[in-house]
């Protein structure tokens, strides 16, 4: 299969979407990103990497980091996290407070902001440094030791993160945080504000394509745990547009408001596409279009 040509064709589909979305401006540090940017990378389970466009240009990973924090919690602490966070689609915006009240501080899934705060809290307890644990994992799997948190983005998120603070305090009021709210928020912003490229993320997501095995051959998760993360990615990874993403792309995927979408083709490859313009649900218009074009052209999906 000519992956390089397929990625070029996918990029053409993405370019056709320019102007159909809006760059995330509620985090001021992200508002100045070039809206026309686009990159895409594919990393096979054998270690080959292909890319087009701005595939080696770092961008703010934002919520894409949530899948890595969840994987590390499962690797360190088993499946006890599922007593504190659910596995169901929310049907509401990723930063909604609505369900927390009716569901007594148990977030609907680990990929909305409330759920990711609980996962970050657990990772902080297990490792002592949640943000650094995610950074070190991404550095190791991508082979990029320079990968790091962008302090300006982290500071911007903290300054304007009133809703995340409200979510964290509400969760804490129900006894579902073990650590201090401000510390949990600091680590949450620390891993969301990591800057990484499509190449970095495609390589780092390879453990899910390899059914839980890291790039060096060491097992991070059991095959069953990797399957379950992929399942929650498919149903919850693109916020309240997960059904549309499954319909169009047909792969487990996690998006972030920095414009990245990381998708997994179990047993074969992991892909990352990036385009800063977002749709109403917070997903990259260009990245979803590119992934749609790729799976349509190849017939490769989980269905």
Question: Which residues form the catalytic set?
Answer: 63, 66, 188, 239, 257
From 123, 145, 121, 148, select the one nearest 133 (Cα to Cα).
Answer: 123
Decide: 258 and 193 in contact? Cβ < 8 Å: no
d(CA 61, CA 134): 12
Phi, then psi, of 105 in degrees rounded to 5: 80, 10
Q: Length of the chain, please?
A: 303
Q: What angle do CA 124, 126, 128 make, to 5 degrees?
A: 50
Q: What token pair was written down for 135?
A: 């950074």
From 45, 44, 55, select the one nearest 8 (Cα to Cα).
Answer: 55
Decide: 238 and 253 in contact? Cβ < 8 Å: yes
Strands (E) in the chain, as ranges, are 22-23, 39-44, 49-53, 59-60, 148-149, 194-196, 253-255, 260-265, 269-274, 277-278
Decide: 216 and 143 in contact? Cβ < 8 Å: no
CB-neighbour burial class of residue 182 (10 A; exposed 0-12, middle 13-18, buried 19+):
exposed
């Amino acid at each position: 299969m000519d992956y390089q040509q397929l990625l070029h064709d996918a990029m053409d589909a993405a370019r056709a979407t320019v102007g159909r979305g809006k760059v995330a401006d509620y985090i001021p540090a992200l508002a100045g990103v070039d809206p026309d940017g686009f990159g895409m990378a594919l990393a096979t389970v054998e270690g080959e990497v292909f890319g087009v466009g701005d595939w080696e240009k770092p961008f703010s990973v934002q919520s894409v980091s949530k899948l890595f924090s969840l994987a590390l919690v499962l690797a360190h602490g088993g499946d006890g996290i599922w007593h504190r966070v659910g596995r169901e689609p929310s049907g509401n915006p990723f930063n909604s407070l609505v369900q927390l009240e009716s569901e007594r501080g148990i977030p609907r899934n680990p990929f909305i902001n409330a759920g990711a705060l609980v996962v970050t809290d657990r990772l902080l307890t297990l490792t002592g440094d949640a943000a650094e644990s995610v950074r070190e994992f991404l550095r190791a799997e991508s082979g990029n030791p320079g990968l790091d948190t962008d302090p300006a983005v982290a500071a911007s998120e903290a300054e304007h993160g009133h809703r995340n603070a409200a979510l964290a305090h509400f969760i804490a009021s129900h006894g579902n945080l073990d650590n201090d709210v401000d510390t949990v928020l600091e680590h949450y912003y620390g891993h969301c504000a990591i800057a990484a490229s499509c190449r970095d993320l495609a390589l780092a997501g390879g453990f899910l394509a390899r059914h839980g095995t890291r790039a060096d051959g060491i097992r991070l998760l059991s095959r069953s745990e990797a399957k379950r993360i992929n399942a929650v990615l498919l149903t919850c990874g693109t916020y309240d547009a997960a059904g549309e993403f499954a319909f169009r792309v047909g792969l487990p995927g996690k998006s972030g408001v920095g414009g990245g979408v990381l998708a997994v083709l179990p047993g074969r490859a992991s892909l990352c596409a990036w385009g800063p313009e977002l749709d109403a649900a917070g997903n990259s218009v260009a990245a979803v279009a590119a992934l749609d074009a790729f799976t349509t052209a190849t017939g490769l999906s989980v269905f």
